[in-house]
């Protein structure tokens, strides 16, 4: 009976996820574990399956706005994909409690940094690069961002959160990308990251197709709304929205694993 409400939940989750550049797993995993008694591994696998649909829908919307740095997204995927594969395997052999707790505290610090508006370098008045070509002029910064992306993939496969909670801060604070572009590029990269994680979880029998499709039906439409709404929000406010989502993620993880 309650399953009939999953498309509505998916719509709301998809809208927030697309606007913030995260996959939505922070909402989907608790929904499945608390309301439908899913095991953590099955909740993560099903969540990642939904995130694939959400990411594709959001990418379509952001591509129309020409906000995606495709080359950067593909380079980040070079390490997010193997990270997601490793994370998926670790769900069955490694307790996630310590990693989840550390990750939760880390996200609080990142959220504070996002609200403060700081970065690890300076580019122009707002501290961001003006184009993808400018981003590629600093090979050292680009290499650092790509290496850090591995942890975004690891978090995606292990915790079912899509990886955007790590990728967006990397793009904004390390690669100095504008927040609107970072959010859009995160959704593009998330397609590849989530697909790799889903493949492993599916092989392990951790995906409930019925529930994934019910949530995805709503999330696809919600993602379109989120992408549309994002362009109407200022960069400063979008950073704040993302920071709030990060805090929700972090508090949830700390409470869960404390």
- The band of 124, judged by pLDDT with boundaries at 50, 70 and 90, is very low
For residues 136-156, average pLDDT: 87
- pLDDT in the model for residue 126: 54
The sign one gets for the Cα dihedral 74, 75, 80, 81 is positive
Total domains, the chain: 1
Say yes or no to pLDDT of 69 above 90. yes
* Domain range for 234: 2-257
In this structure, how many other beta carbons lie within 10 angstroms of the beta carbon of residue 82? 16
Greatest CA span in the chain, whole angstroms? 55
Alpha-carbon distances of 153 from 95, 169, 223, rounded to whole Å? 17, 14, 21
Is a pLDDT exceeding 90 seen at residue 73?
yes
Tens digit of pLDDT for each residue in 99-121?
Answer: 667 667 777 877 787 777 554 44
* Residue 44: per-residue pLDDT: 85
pLDDT, residue 96, reads 58
Q: Count Cβ atoms within 10 A of the Cβ of residue 68 and give its class: 0-12 exposed, 13-18 middle, 19 or more buried.
A: buried
pTM of the model: 0.83
Q: Which residues of 123-158 are buried (b: 16+ CB within 10 A; e: fewer)?
A: beeebbbeebeebeebeebbeebbebbbbbbbbbbb
Number of C-beta neighbours around residue 15 at 10 A: 25
Q: Is the pLDDT of residue 236 over 70?
A: yes
Residue 125 pLDDT greater than 50, yes or no: no
Is residue 131 very low, low, confident or very high in pLDDT (cuts 50, 70, 90)?
very high
Q: In this predicted structure, what is the pLDDT of residue 121?
A: 44
How far is Cα 22 from Cα 18, in angstroms, rounded to an integer?
A: 7
Rounded to the nearest 5°, which phi and psi values hold at 30? Answer: -65, -35
**CA–CA gap between residue 169 and residue 167 (Å, rounded):** 6
13-35 confidence digits (pLDDT tens): 999 989 988 878 878 888 898 88
Mean pLDDT of the chain: 85
Residue 102's pLDDT is what?
66
């Amino acid at each position: 009976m309650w399953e009939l409400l999953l498309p509505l939940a998916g719509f709301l989750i998809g809208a927030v996820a697309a606007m913030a550049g995260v996959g939505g797993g922070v909402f989907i995993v608790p929904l499945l574990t608390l309301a439908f008694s899913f095991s953590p591994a099955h909740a993560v696998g099903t969540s990642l399956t939904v995130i694939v649909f959400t990411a594709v829908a959001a990418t379509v919307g952001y591509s129309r706005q020409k906000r995606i740095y495709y080359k950067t997204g593909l380079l980040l995927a070079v390490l997010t994909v193997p990270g997601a594969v490793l994370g998926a395997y670790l769900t069955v052999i490694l307790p996630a409690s310590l990693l989840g707790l550390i990750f939760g505290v880390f996200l609080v610090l990142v959220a504070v940094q996002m609200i403060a508006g700081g970065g690890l370098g300076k580019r122009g008045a707002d501290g961001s690069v003006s184009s993808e070509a400018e981003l590629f002029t600093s090979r050292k910064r680009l290499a650092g961002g790509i290496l850090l992306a591995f942890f975004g993939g690891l978090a995606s496969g292990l915790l079912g959160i899509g990886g955007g909670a790590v990728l967006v801060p990397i793009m904004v604070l390390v690669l100095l990308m504008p927040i609107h572009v970072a959010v859009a590029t995160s959704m593009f990269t998330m397609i590849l990251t989530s697909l790799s994680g889903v493949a492993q979880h599916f092989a392990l029998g951790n995906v409930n197709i019925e529930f994934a499709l019910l949530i995805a039906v709503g999330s696809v439409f919600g993602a379109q709304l989120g992408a549309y709404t994002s362009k109407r929000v200022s960069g400063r406010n979008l950073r704040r929205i993302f920071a709030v989502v990060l805090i929700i993620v972090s508090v949830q993880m700390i409470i869960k694993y404390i």
